[in-house]
Amino acid sequence: MIPIKSPADLKSMRHACRLSARLLAEVAAAVRPGMTTGELDAFAAQRMRALGVTSAFLGYGGFPGHTCISLNDEVVHGIPGPRAINAGDLVSVDLGVTADGFVGDNATTVMVGEMDAESVRLCGICEAALAAGIAAARAGNHVGDIGHAVQTVAEAAGFSVVRDYCGHGVGRRLHEDPQVPNFGNPGRGPVLKPGMTLAIEPMINQGTCRVEVMANGWTVKTRDRKRSAHFEHTVLVVAAGPAEILTCAEKK
């Protein structure tokens, strides 16, 4: 069953999402060459404490970080640790917090210093694919319309869409119904209704769409070790028009 949020739910949801977006912006701005992913996660943890929120990821299924930090050929679920961030790296930060009993979930990919042109293009297309997915998240459309929109943008640019991981409903829990794949057919899947809140999160690869989980049980890498980008917003399906992005740092 796909939860429909009440006005009271949405008040809390907006609060959680706003804080989640603010924290993600702060963490993204803190990325420096030479720092470790563990140091970046420690900064995130400190800022979460200061804002009075908790990580939605820490302890989820046993995940050991406050955030997921995935570099270069890592797609998602990177565990923060002693690995150093270097100029030229793609640093995907996935950050979700719980506040007022609701979760806000968002992700961005940071380009560190001087970047190769294909990495810049990958990030641009991943952001454009996310925007297309959000535009397709309209009441009366189907979940498949979102995935189709994402996939169309990514594949037209010559990139591939990760199949093994997808977006999701989000609210009182980090993962709610429905699953929101980043590929699919228009008109397929559950019908979108006002009050649904979804995390739309394309994971776009330079090479193959195939991925594999590393021995630590979490970190997902591309099979061909080419690079991957990840952008995510939590959005609200509204009565008319494209979904409203809830993970905006500014109060609307």
CA atoms of 190 and 138, how far apart (whole Å): 12
Please identify, using beta-carbon distances, which residue of 25 and 115 lies nearer to Mg ion: 25
Is 105 a binder of Mg ion (CB under 5 A)?
yes
Is the Cα torsion angle 185, 186, 191, 195 positive or negative in sign?
positive
Q: Which stretch binds Mg ion (CB under 5 A): 30-38, 116-124, 156-164, 196-204?
A: 196-204
Please identify, using beta-carbon distances, which residue of 125 and 200 lies nearer to Mg ion: 200
Maximum distance among all Cα pairs of the chain, rounded to whole angstroms: 48
Q: Which residue is nearest to Mg ion (CB)?
A: 199
Is 199 a binder of Mg ion (CB under 5 A)?
yes
Please identify, using beta-carbon distances, which residue of 136 and 180 lies nearer to Mg ion: 180
Shortest distance in whole angstroms from residue 94 CB to Mg ion: 7
CA atoms of 98 and 186, how far apart (whole Å): 33
CA atoms of 155 and 148, how far apart (whole Å): 10
What are the backbone angles phi and psi of residue 147, rounded to the nearest 5°? -60, -40
Closest by CA position to 161, among listed 136, 186, 120, 130: 130
Is 17 a binder of Mg ion (CB under 5 A)?
no
Shortest distance in whole angstroms from residue 155 CB to Mg ion: 22
Please identify, using beta-carbon distances, which residue of 27 and 199 lies nearer to Mg ion: 199
Per the CB < 8 A criterion, the answer to whether 153 and 125 are in contact is: yes
Q: Which stretch binds Mg ion (CB under 5 A): 61-69, 71-79, 104-112, 150-158?
A: 104-112
Binding residues for Mg ion, per CB under 5 A? 105, 199, 201
